[in-house]
Amino acid sequence: MIAFLVKRIFHALLVMFVISLIAFSIQDNLGDPIQQMVGQSVPESEREALREELGLNDPFLVQYLRFAKNAARFDFGYSYNFNQPTTEVIARHLPATLELVAAATFLIIALSVPIGVYSAIKPRAWLSRFFMGVSIVGISIPVFLTAIVLIQLFAIGVSWTPFPTDTAWGNWLNDLVTTEGGMPAYGRGDPVHVFGTWYTNFASPRGLLYLVLPAISLASIMLPLFIRLIRAEMLEVLQSEYVKFARAKGIRLRRIYFLHALKNTMLPVITVGGVQIGTLVAYTILTETVFQWPGMGLMFLDAIERSDIPLIVTYLMIVGLIFVITNTLVDLIYGLVNPTVKLTGKPA
């Protein structure tokens, strides 16, 4: 276990080194941060003085080595826009993103497992066919379009009367396709303060309402993939010899499905799913933009627009670290689910 953790720490440092190197190499293509900081009316002489003070005129290698030296002391520099340490800016926006990802992950797990298992147990049922059809549509729709549709349906509302209004059945159908709206779809509302820079929406019913639409929108990216993955793996496991033998022994079907088959189904799902859930952090950029959710994704886009190089580099390194942590947790969970797998790579 110690060797595994040391190896993962080395991987994390390597990933952050590569990410910071790439981010620094493209900084010249992101615009001039001085122009965003001082505006058009400041004379060129003052701009050059500020550029010299910030070290932007130094060669690339000098700038990077200075950043790496400070980063070794957990000092990632100051944000040009916020005039604060980038770590403080990230810490202020990180809880909102993590809560959004956590809510979306909960929806994905809570829906994909029962739907995927049901679709594998009864592949010819009309409900299974319906789920598979909807999953194909879900994979095809981009997240920003899903977010816009959700806002229109549940925040703004839709008043549609395609059926005759002078009949009872027509009015019933019109009411069925009409939505009142009223769901919150902008920002986080008034989250509850926990400590430091951590404010949570999980601590109040109103806060949870603000999470509903963004979480559904973000979950719609991975939910169809997980449903189809669980179904495919479950179908394969149900055809295996040990499942046939368990049926022949007369073991209850529920025990076979949810104890023996599901456990082996989840092994590849954990491997693929852990990586995919890690990518939700990157997908939050679109979701947070549509819903103006004040997380790291919205902050990152604002940093790009303002050419805030230190904040961009810090964000990318934090996201890389989240990926490494996610993969490490996946490996640990995989080892718990399948004890024959050794984390050190040695045979069991």
Rounded alpha-carbon distances, angstroms, from residue 188 to 106, 129, 143, 154, 305: 19, 37, 19, 16, 23
- pLDDT of 347 reads 47
Q: CATH number of the domain at 1-30+74-337, please?
A: 1.10.3720.10
Segment-wise mean pLDDT, segments of 10 residues, the chain, 348 residues: 75 79 73 70 78 79 83 82 89 92 92 91 90 87 90 86 78 78 87 88 91 92 89 88 85 83 81 77 87 92 85 85 80 70 54
**Which regions of the chain does DSSP assign to beta strands (E)?**
192-195, 198-200
- pLDDT of 36 reads 66
| Local structure of 193: helix, strand or coil | strand
Q: Which two tokens mark 195?
A: 């400590």
Nearest to 4 by CA among 221, 328, 338, 339: 328
- pLDDT of 252 reads 86
- Residues of 315-340 as b/e, b for ≥16 C-beta within 10 angstroms? bbbbbbebbbebbbebbeebeeeeee
Q: What are phi and psi of 83, to 5 degrees?
A: 55, 40
Q: How many helices (H) and strands (E) does the chain have?
A: 14, 2
pTM of the model: 0.84
Domain boundaries, the chain: 1-30+74-337
